[in-house]
Amino acid sequence: MTRYSAFAIAREAFRQHKGWDRAWESPEPRKSYDVIIVGGGGHGLATAYHLGKNHGITNVAVLEKGWLGGGNTGRNTTIIRSNYLQDPSAALYEKSRSLYETMSQDLNYNVMFSPRGVMMLAQTEHEVRGYKRTAHANALQGVTTEWIDAKRVKELCPIMNIDGPRYPVLGALWQARAGTARHDAVAWGYARACSAMGMHIIQKCEVTGITSQDGRVTGVTTNRGDIGCKKMGIVVAGHSGALAEMAGFRLPIESVALQALVSEPIKPCMDVVVMANTVHGYMSQSDKGEMVIGGGTDGYNNYTQRGSFHHIEETVRALVETFPMISRLKMLRQWGGVVDVTGDRSPILSKTPLDGCFINCGWGTGGFKATPGSGWAMAELMAKGHSPLTDAFGLERFREGRFIDESVAAGVAH
């Protein structure tokens, strides 16, 4: 792997840029691997990366049915934050956020992490109380957030109308080291680092069945032949239900569509991320100048990667009141992703009833921010059999009533 650096750019400039390698290899699958990761999105690649980097396991294949990062990794609104209420979530998301801080250096790949600050607006008295509570909880968890008043909100984001008749801004929960990152680059950076460790990244390889013997996973059948493994990680987000069915267990998950849209590019006007949960909308400005807007989920199961238009209408209607200047903006693109939502809105990182098979799913509407932390924790779980970060996120928590209720922090906006 050629190291990316300012020197490398200068060197290549002198030889017509002919020396750049492909960022990752596309090998033919081997007969078997120590570990197979099903799903080549951010979480799957991060899991593979940390298996190699933290635990020295490099005989790994990542199987992806489409192309890398073609699912929700490339469909989210790239927000990174860790201001969750419950201790297990705060630990996992804060681990993740802290890994983002040094990710570009660790991967030698610019993921454009921009800790520009995230504010979650309180627009009702209930939200004021809820967010003050979260700020106190975060203080105890060691996550730096603060409650700010409406005046400070206006200073941080001057384009906002804080006196709206229906949704006045009463204050906000502010996390200064939260922000955004380039989502495709996260997947590509991990893929490049995995490939450099000798791992196989196999695209257009769809898993069609899971084989097992005496209750232990032995491999997968795919459209590119059978591949054996000693351990397997299922990291496929919206399609977890289908994979779990192959492995012979059910999940407390339903897959629904979540939508987002971007406007035409405009000059820089907003250097923070604003989330407004009361009106189910959130907005930030990308480096290209587009306003990136996320909306709510549909209420019914859907695998089509497109959602209902009336949700877009609701989101935009509410945002226009909060940001009057966007009323004349044209919208460029709108898209949907299939998100896997659990009953308590927290993810599942767990062993499964099938020995050697682990699952990482249920991130619902907020998986992107958790990519590195999820990979770190999942790798530890797969290598050692348990991880302090994943202990609370087991499949059995539903049966035992130990929910990690994040429906307030994660219910809609991400």
Partner 1 sequence: MLTLQCPYCGVQCDETELTAGGEAHLTRHGPGSDADTFEQYLFLRENPRGVHFERWRHSHGCGKWFHAARSTTTLRVFGTYKAQTTEPPQQIRDAISAVHPGWSWRNFGETA
Q: How far is the CB of 222 from partner 1 (least distance, A)?
A: 17
C-alpha span between 82 and 145 (Å, rounded): 9
Q: Give 47 or 308: the residue with its C-beta nearer to partner 1.
A: 308
* 301 is an interface residue for partner 1 by CB under 8 A: yes
Q: What's the token pair of residue 53?
A: 């980097």
Minimum CB distance to partner 1, residue 37 (Å): 21
CB-CB contact of 91 with 56 (8 Å)? no
- Among 27, 67, 102, 309, the residue binding partner 1 under the rule CB under 8 A is 309
Supply the minimum distance, in Å, between the C-beta of residue 178 and partner 1: 31
For partner 1, the closer of residues 246 and 274 by Cβ is 246
Cβ proximity to partner 1, 115 vs 343, nearer residue: 343
Q: Name which of 154 and 306 has its Cβ closer to partner 1.
A: 306
Beta pairing partners, 301:
256
Instruction: For the CB of residue 304, give the shortest distance to partner 1 in the complex, in Å.
Output: 6
Taking the least distance from each CB to partner 1, the nearer of 28 and 400 is: 400
C-alpha closest to that of 122 among 344, 320, 279? 279
Which backbone phi and psi does 107 adopt, to 5 degrees? Answer: -95, -10
Q: Does 299 bind partner 1 (CB under 8 A)?
A: yes
Complex with partner 1: residue 171 or 337, whichever CB lies closer: 337
Shortest separation between residue 281's beta carbon and partner 1, angstroms = 18
User: Does 206 participate in binding partner 1 (rule CB under 8 A)?
Assistant: no
**CA distance linking residue 143 with residue 93, whole number of Å:** 10
> Which string of x and - marks every residue 223-242 that binds partner 1 (by CB under 8 A)?
----------------x-xx
Please, which residues have CB within 8 angstroms of residue 178's CB and are 6 or more apart in sequence? 79, 80, 81, 82, 83, 97, 115, 117, 118, 273
How far is the C-alpha of 208 from the C-alpha of 192, rounded, in Å?
A: 26
The residue written with tokens 């209750």 in the block is 215
| DSSP string for residues in 99-151 | HHHTHHHHHTS----B---EEEEE-SHHHHHHHHHHHHHHHHHT---EEEEHH
Task: Give me 393's structure tokens.
Answer: 């996120």
259 part of the interface to partner 1, by CB under 8 A: no
- 298 binding partner 1? (CB under 8 A): yes
Contact with partner 1 (CB under 8 A): which of 144, 221, 343, 383?
A: 343
Task: Write down the least CB distance from residue 396 to partner 1, Å.
Answer: 9
Name the one range near partner 1 by CB under 8 A: 66-74, 141-149, 294-302, 404-412: 294-302
Nearer Cβ to partner 1, position 168 or 252?
A: 252
Residues 277, 378 contacting (CB under 8 angstroms): no
Among 250, 317, 384, 386, binds partner 1 (CB under 8 A): 250
Half-sphere exposure of 249 (CA within 13 A, CB side): 19
* Interaction between residue 25 and partner 1 (CB under 8 A): no
Q: Tell me if 361 sits within 8 A of 239, measured CB to CB.
A: no
303 scored as a contact of partner 1 (CB under 8 A):
yes
Cα–Cα–Cα angle for 393, 399, 403, rounded to 5 degrees: 45
Smallest distance from the beta carbon of 132 to partner 1, in angstroms?
A: 31
Q: Which of 229, 207, 295, 217 is nearest to 256 (CA)?
A: 295
CB of 331 to partner 1, least distance (A): 18
CB of 404 to partner 1, least distance (A): 14
Contact region with partner 1 (CB under 8 A), list: 83-91, 304-312, 329-337, 380-388 = 304-312
Among 3, 22, 31, 300, binds partner 1 (CB under 8 A): 300
Q: Are 146 and 82 in contact (CB under 8 A)?
A: no
The count of other CB atoms within 10 Å of the CB of residue 90 is 23
Question: Which residue from 78, 195, 308, 387 is in contact with partner 1, where contact means CB under 8 A?
Answer: 308
Determine how many CB atoms are found less than 10 A away from the CB of residue 330: 7
Q: Which of 98, 221, 398, 407 binds partner 1 (CB under 8 A)?
A: 398
Binding track over 106-125 against partner 1, x by CB under 8 A: --------------------
Q: What angle do helix axes 371-384 and 183-196 make, rounded to 10 degrees?
A: 30
Using CB under 8 A, list all residues that contact partner 1: 239, 241-242, 250-255, 298-304, 308-310, 343, 398-399
